[in-house]
Every structure is written in structure tokens, then in C-alpha cells.
Structure 1
Amino acid sequence: MDWALVFVLQVTFLPFITSHGLFKVEAKPNKYTSELGGEVVMKCRFDPVPSDPLTGLKVYWYWTMDNFPDRKVYVMDNGEKDLSLPDVDFQGRVKFSTEELQNGWAVLQLSRLKINDSGTYQCLIDTALGTDYKKMTLSVTAPYKAVTKHIQEVAEQDELLLTCQSEGYPESTVVWQDGQGQNIIPNTTFVSTPDQLIKVTSQIRIRSLEKNNYTCRFTNDGHSATFHIPDDIPNHPVKNDALIVALIIGLILLIIVVVLTYHRRKGAGTHNTRNLLVNGRGGFFPAPVCLQIGKENDEDLRENLRASLKAHYADNSFSTEMGYHWDDPHRLQNNEGQPVTLQSLIPEAEEMLFIEGPPGSGKTTLAHILISSWVKGPTDALTNLLDLSMVHLLLYVDCSTAKGDLFQEIISQLSLGEKVSTEDELRTVLTRSNVLLLLDGYREGDQLFDDSLKTFISERKGCRVLIMACPGHCPTLRETVGTRELLKLQTQTVKY
């Protein structure tokens, strides 16, 4: 019999069956919210439970939405999954827990969530004791995390156009305030992107001569960006008189430097000019002094990045709210199936380590444990199991949301645009042996990201690299790494 006819007959007789109290289905909770690329576990409870749930039970999960045809998510008939029925859009992303049927639960796990997974899900249970169904709603969201800002001078007007832009879901309003907390009414537009996100562009006009700060804030999740005027204005104009004076002073200084250099070379031929640098007063710095200055600047940059990264992770609840625990040491195994410790997750200098595990095995949780331990340092509860003192910088990239190359994603996801001025500067930082690059949810197929990762791996020098992915998602990279640097993460049984 056609499944649609079965469904119509079941729904037609539901009022009669359930009114006599023979069988009922409940949905608790009936509303779910999860982020794009993540996963959700939805469940419904049925009572009474048949004596043999696997042979006397049929389970139907449907996705429904007004003005759209219903889509079949999962169908189980007498303990067997019907592979011919589920909608192609859900294939490979659905997991059903048959173990929970004997406890009266129909549990559905949906991973790698998409925006169009949002809607109403119907759980229908058909048994010899009766038939009933319940509906629940799922909302898939995408936070407006990366807020980009732009400043444009308005031609022939003493004004600036400030622009904030970000992508997310659902639609978010943007609130602007100046440094005194006064609200400013913006011009905001919304455009849908090919990946079903909403690109929000919000702009205000201000007078360019007024010194002030202006902040745009996306109300959905609170992410914001601040403009410091006039400091942030590119190529800030200088009055003509001041420009002329500056040029004259610069020319005089240049002449002095040239003359002094000429006389020093003429009167002291024994100087090795390759090891001397001219200072701002016409004198010379020995090369070791110059190298020391460069080393100090590099250390300042890394300290600023370290503080910025820890603040970023704390703001995004990596270390203060999640409460991660690691209570099953046997889940993490080496390539020979032997249990290994959490400390084995930390690659050696110049080493690339690959962690492989199926969806739901806890790869992202494990990544967050590493971040939390790094942020908290010696005060972390896992200090006796995990020592990250050798890692000065930990850079975490969620590859499932990547849209640019490796370096663009590091700067964008970790909000380093104001800390790292160029990509070359970031490349220099990543060559250090006390840097750990953590790539979570990597999957080959994005040529731009794949090519940039391959280039970085070949040039990374001392950087430690830890990559987490599902089995079969990265065959090319796995072949590069080999099996010696492979760890496996076993799926933990989930109980509801």
C-alpha cells in the first residue's frame, strides 16, 4: 500500500483511537533550536510500549511546512529502516536510536544542519495498540559572528559613510550608538545569499570633522563593531600648511642622513656597512640591536594575540559556560585500537595530527575541552590530564562554516582583523613551534580552503596542527598524514 494512503488512513482514525485512551504519543519538548552546521536530537514518547517494539511497531518522521510538500525524514517498519523512502536531502544526516524503543522513546538525531531544515517535524507511531502522532518545531540559526566595517568619504561633502555588514539567520536588526550612548537611525538592507543566509548591510552618515566613536550591534546575538573617528579614517587628510611643513622637515632630515652617511663612509672605511643601520638622529644602530628591536616587536604582537584569543574564546562561551567533561578515557584510541590519554592530542613541534570519529562522537566537544584548558591554564580541572603550557597561541577554526581560504577564516572567525595587519604577518606567527592550529570539522571539497591548507602544511615549519574530521571526509589529507599520526574517537552511547 502506498505510504501516503497509509498516512491518511492513520490520521483519519486517530481521534477515535486516542479518545478511548488506548495509545498516545507525547512530544517533550516540542520546540528545538540549533545552529547551522550543528546537530539536534528530537524525540517523542509513546505509551503503552508494545511487548516487542522491533516487530510490532512502525515509526514515521516527517518534515512539514505550509505551502511546501511534506518530506520523509525517517521510516522504520517492524525494526527495519525503509531505505527507499527518506527524502534525498536528509540522506546521510539522520540517525535513529532503536535501543530507546523498548523504553518508549522514538529518538531522531539530525546532523550537519541546514537553514532549510527549519520547520515542523511530525513523529507518528503505529502499533497494534493504536496510532498517534505529535508535532514539534525546529529553528536552525546562524549567528552574525563576523562583522566587517567600512569607511567611505562622501564626495564633495564633509561627511563619512560608515558601513557594518555580516551574514547570519534569521534576519537581524542593527542598532547604532555614538560614544555618548545616543541612538542613530541607520539605513539597513537585507539580501538573501545562495547558502540561505541573510546578508545584512547597515549604514549611517556622520560629519567627518567630529571626533567620536560609533558602534553597530546586531540584535540577534549581540555581535558588534566600533568605529573610532577620526583615527580609523583611511588616508586621513592633513591641512595643506601642515603637509608642506612635514615635507620640508622630511627633506631636511633626508639630506642630513645622506651627508652624515657619506662622511662616515669616507672617514671610517673599516665600518662594515652591512651590519649598521641609520637611526633617526643620523647615527647608527649595530645589527644585533636592530634584531633585538624586531624580536621585541614580534613578542609584543604574540602577547597581544594571546590576550585577544583568550578574550574571544571567553566571550563565545568556550571556557566559562559549557562545562565540558571527559569521563571515558577509552573513547580515544590510537591506530592500533589502544586507549590513549588526552595529552596525546597535542602534536609535537612541526607535527600534524589527525583525529577521526563519526558524527556525534564528540570531536567538537574535545576541541572545546582543549580551548577551555588553554584559556584557564593551571586553574583548569583537567590540568592533571592535559598540559598545554607549551602552547602559547591556540587558533581554532570551524571548517564547517568556512567561506574563504585558511588565513581569511583565521582572521575572520577569531576577530583578528585589528590585531594582524597583513596575511604575511599571520604566516610569520604560524611558523612558531609554540603555536597550535586546531581545525574542527574539516572536509575536503572547498578548493580555495583546501589549496591554502596544503600550501600552509608545506610551509608551516614549527607550527603544531591538529585536524578533526569524520571518516572518509579527507582521503587526500589522510594519505598525506599517514596512519602513524592518526587517532580515533569512538562514539559514546547516548541515553535519554
Structure 2
Amino acid sequence: MVMFIQQEVMKGPLVLMCQALLCLAVSGLFTVDVEQKSYESELHGEVKLVCLFSQVKSLSDLLVIWDKVEPLPEINVYRYERGKEKQNYTNVVFRDRAQLIHEQLSQSRAVLHLKKLRIKDSGTYQCVVKYQQDDVDYKHITLSVTALNTPIKKSLRKTEVEDEVELSCEFAGYPLAEVLWSDGQTVNLTEKSSKSTHVTDEDLINITSRLTVRRDLVRNYTCSFLTEGKVRQTTTFIIPHEIPAGSSHHYVWIGSVIVVLLVIVFIFIIYRKRKNGQKDKRSKSLKCPPPFPQTTANNDCLLTIYENTPHPCDITREEHAEKLQTLRDALTQRYSQPITDTEMKTRLLSYCSNVLPHVLQLREGQAVNISSIFPDKRQTVLLLGKPGSGKTTTAQILSSCWAQSLSIDPWNIKELQLVVSVDCRGANSEFFKLVRCNIPKETPLDVSDIKEMLLGSADCLVILDGYKEGNRDLDETLGMFLKERQTCRILVMSHPGECPGLENKVGTVLNLIHKSDDKSET
């Protein structure tokens, strides 16, 4: 019994010595770790996968291997050995797209830089680092490549049933998105829709969803695409406003009645002006309205005159067209001077794909398609944003896109005859004088010419950048213009709280979220 106790006492120091030696050996092991276990990046973008390893004395004895191990088959991505890249190791799939950042090896970082990302780049990557003969370790990193910002393609067509119309929205993205249909009363209509899918050449999942509705109901229908429970893209159909002309015989008689009513109102206005012997100075452009087909020479001019003072038309159609072309040429030259078409195309693609979809929201905070900032005819859109949120950049993108001959045009803005960008910061004059100040001085047009064109039938867009309510002359003349314009579209850009009057009047109010605000929310 005594001998057993002595043996046990002798074992204690031996165990402690072995444990100490084991700890020393483990602390001296060569290890590999990761900066983060998973990454997510956009299609056609780039990403840097970071692998950390124990400090080494010489990079010439270092071996770094990156492979994509899942899903099978395994693909060789990059191999760095004895200070050099092994080009024959890289699979053709990653050739010219995968690169190890050599400068960071001295900081014990094996960073794999992947460019021009594809959907099939998603998967598990293995980082193996070996030093000299026996020191080796590895770690796995997951990469997810997504495509969530593709704009929705919307279309509308007649059906065999005369009082119905089919709404269609198409979205190509990754991963697979869920489709949600709702009406203006937030009623879920998804179960009444149909859906078809196919995979594109870029491995995107193309979804086309269709919903049949009655064409005689005045209602909005919204199609949304969601992934992971978040709305990624959305578009709205306004029925029957968006039904193409001639697609329904039911509205022919309605249009006829409206035309007759307008003629009666117009005759009544002319009668009152002649009776009172007063001339409306704000209706100067109506002296020479655009001629209608098959009009006679005696009807070319409508007289809005004093009782005994004739006022013949001094501006012909040809002169009006020449002035419109003069203004178009001057604005086109001004907006296309700073950058080339190639630079503009790159900038437009980046802004519309990577910036605007992430910062543009409805007033209620919901995500909205970038096409929402483009007003319809005779519509006003108010875009609010803090300083630095990108309002002026958006104005420059719109005017440059109109002025330059690009194949990319997400707003179809090149269809417009004019786009006028107006800097309203510090403005203290009436509206039309302010517009004239933002047109090149050498342009042979005066304030009355500008007023006539903007109040007329030319399809144009006026962008008011930095507008702030409070200047009486500007506010009153702008209000008159908004009432009297025929077709002109208005995009007003302002800081939150600086246009309370417009916020209550316009139908569409959007917000540009500042990047710092976006980060604080997340």
C-alpha cells in the first residue's frame, strides 16, 4: 500500500511536465484562419477572399493554393509557390479573373481577388497555406454571387375577353425570387396570377408573371419581386391610364365627350376675355397655338385681344420650330461637353446598377424602381435628400443621358425634345428668368421665347435642383407655370422640409437615402 502511494506521487510531476511540453508544441504550430467565413457580392462585380496565416521568416518557402471545392467538380483557382505564380495551375474558368495580392503576403494575408464575378462562382473555396516541409493548414470560405438589382420589364396586352387586359412583369436575377401581386388597396392577388421561369445564358433565373384584370376599373396594380423576404424590385400599372390608345372601343365615346367639353370651355374663356376687354399676359404663348390638321389660313390664329386693338400672330410654326431646335442644340452641347460617350456609358451603368437602386425610396420608406424619378407628361415628381445624397449627381446623369447618343437609356429620356437643368440655389428671380439664366448666354433666345416653349406642346423635362420655398416671385411664377403648362414634366430636387407646399400638392414624393443614414439603419 505504501509503495502504491509512492508511485502515484511520482506520476504527478511527470504528467505536469508532459502537459507543459504539449502546450509549447501546440503554441508553435503553423495555423491558418479566415477574416470572415462567408462573402456576398453582385454579378459582374468583384470580391477579395482573405485567408490569414502564422508569421513566417521567408516568403520564398511559402506555398499558397486556392481551390473551389464545392459544388463538385473541384476547380483549381490559383497557386503561388516559391515567390511565383503557377499560371498553368489556374483553370480556364478563372483565367484572367483570379489574382493573389502578393503585397499582402508579408502581412501574413493570402488575399484572393476575384473579378467579373459569375453566378457559377458561388460555392466553397479552400485556402491551403504551407511553409517549408511540415507546417501546413487550411480553411474554407463561402462565396455567394447574387443579382438583385435588375430592372423589371413591364408590358400590357389585350386578351380575347373584351373587358380584360393582361399585365406582365419580367425579372431576371439570382437567387430565385418570389413574385407578389397587389392592388391599390393592398389586396394580395398573387394566387390569381401565372408564372413561368427559365435560366438565362448568365445563369440568371428569368421569371415572367402575368395577371389578368378588368380594364374598366380605375385601379393600380403592383408587381414585386422578393428574396429572403425583402422587396428587391417593384413596378406599378395604372389602369386604365396605361392601356394603349385604340386598345379599347369603350373609351372612344368618353374621349369624344371630353373633347366637346374642352371646346365649350375654351369658347367660354375667349368670350369672357373679349367681353371684359382684358388681356391675360400669362397667355402670350396662346396667340399662335399649334395648327391642327386641315385648318384654313383664316383659322391659323386665335385672337385674344382688346376690343378695338388687333394683334396678328408674329411667330409662325417655322420660326417656333427653329427656336426649339436652337435651344435643343445649345443644351445638347452644354450637357455633353464634360465627358465622352464612353465615360458617360460607364458612369450611367454604375450609377443605375450600383447606387440609385439602393438609395431611392418612397416617402414611406419602401424601395422603388429607378424609373419612378422620371415624371409622366404634365406630372411633377419631388425628390428629397440631405446634402451629399446624390440629387445633383442624379440631375447631371439625366441631362447627360439625354444629350449623348448612348444605347443605354433606362428612362427613355432621349424621346424628349428638351431637357433643361436649372440650379435654384440662391435664386431670387421669377421662374422663367431663372430658367433663362441657366441656358448659355450666347443662345439667341429671350425670356418670352423660353416661356412660349415650356408652356407649349413640346415634350420636355425641367429639373429644378436645389429648389427651396420662400422666394415669393419664384414660388408664385412656378405655381402659375405648373397650372398652365400643357405637357412639360417637372422633377424638383430639394432638402427635406424645404418644400412643404409642394409636398402636399404633388402626387409622387421620393427620398434619396444618404449612405451614412443607410449604414446607421443597418
TM-score, normalised on structure 2?
0.51
Structure 2 counterpart SS, 1:409: coil
* One-letter amino acid of the structure 2 residue matched with residue 190 of structure 1: T
State the percentage of identical aligned residues.
27
Match of 1:94 in 2: 98
CA RMSD of aligned residues (A): 5.2
Structure 2, unaligned runs of 5 or more: 1-24, 268-290, 305-310, 344-348, 360-382, 423-437, 440-522
Within 5 A, what are the aligned runs for 1:74-473?
A: 74-128=78-132, 130-185=135-190, 186-220=193-227, 221-235=231-245, 236-238=248-250, 261=296, 277-278=300-301, 285-287=313-315, 349=337, 352=340, 379-380=387-388, 393=398, 395=400, 407-411=406-410, 416-417=411-412, 420=413, 423-425=414-416
* Bigger helix fraction: 2
CA positional deviation for 1:145: 2.6
* Aligned counterpart for 1:50 among listed residues 52, 56, 71: 56
Q: Of the two, which has the highest radius of gyration?
A: 2
What are the superposed Cα offsets for residues 217-275 of structure 1, whole Å, 9 maximum, x if unpaired?
11135211100011111124335655777899999x9xx989983558xxxxxxxxxxx
* One-letter amino acid of the structure 2 residue matched with residue 287 of structure 1: I
Name the CA distance, whole Å, in 2 between partners of 1:169 and 1:289: 53
Name the CA distance, whole Å, in 2 between partners of 1:27 and 1:70: 20
CA positional deviation for 1:171: 1.3
Structure 2 counterpart SS, 1:232: coil
Structure 1 counterpart SS, 2:165: strand
Name the CA distance, whole Å, in 2 between partners of 1:369 and 1:164: 23
Name the CA distance, whole Å, in 1 between partners of 2:30 and 2:301: 90
Q: 1:291 to 1:393 in 2, by over 3 A?
A: farther
In the alignment, is the contact (CA less than 8 A) between 1:144 and 1:218 conserved in 2? Answer: no
CA positional deviation for 1:287: 2.3
Match of 1:35 in 2: 42
What are the superposed Cα offsets for residues 40-71 of structure 1, whole Å, 9 maximum, x if unpaired?
00011112x2211x2111000001223x3211
Structure 1 counterpart SS, 2:104: helix
CA positional deviation for 1:349: 2.6
Q: 1:279 to 1:42 in 2, by over 3 A?
A: farther
CA positional deviation for 1:381: 11
Name the CA distance, whole Å, in 1 between partners of 2:342 and 2:292: 55
Name the CA distance, whole Å, in 1 between partners of 2:44 and 2:232: 20
What are the superposed Cα offsets for residues 127-182 of structure 1, whole Å, 9 maximum, x if unpaired?
13521111111111112431111112211342221101121212111111100111
Name the CA distance, whole Å, in 1 between partners of 2:336 and 2:252: 57
In the alignment, is the contact (CA less than 8 A) between 2:335 and 2:400 conserved in 1? Answer: no
CA positional deviation for 1:23: 2.0
Name the CA distance, whole Å, in 1 between partners of 2:335 and 2:86: 43
Name the CA distance, whole Å, in 1 between partners of 2:396 and 2:169: 34
Q: How many residues align?
A: 325
Q: Structure 1 residue 61 and structure 2 residue 66: aligned?
A: yes
Q: 1:71 to 1:389 in 2, by over 3 A?
A: closer
Name the CA distance, whole Å, in 1 between partners of 2:259 and 2:233: 42
Name the CA distance, whole Å, in 2 between partners of 1:178 and 1:381: 31
TM-score, normalised on structure 1?
0.54
* Aligned counterpart for 1:73 among listed residues 62, 74, 77: 77
Q: 1:148 to 1:279 in 2, by over 3 A?
A: farther
Structure 2 counterpart SS, 1:183: coil
Structure 2 counterpart SS, 1:181: coil
Structure 2 counterpart SS, 1:74: strand
Structure 1, unaligned runs of 5 or more: 1-17, 265-276, 304-345, 356-362, 398-404, 436-496
What are the superposed Cα offsets for residues 450-489 of structure 1, whole Å, 9 maximum, x if unpaired?
xxxxxxxxxxxxxxxxxxxxxxxxxxxxxxxxxxxxxxxx
Name the CA distance, whole Å, in 2 between partners of 1:25 and 1:257: 80
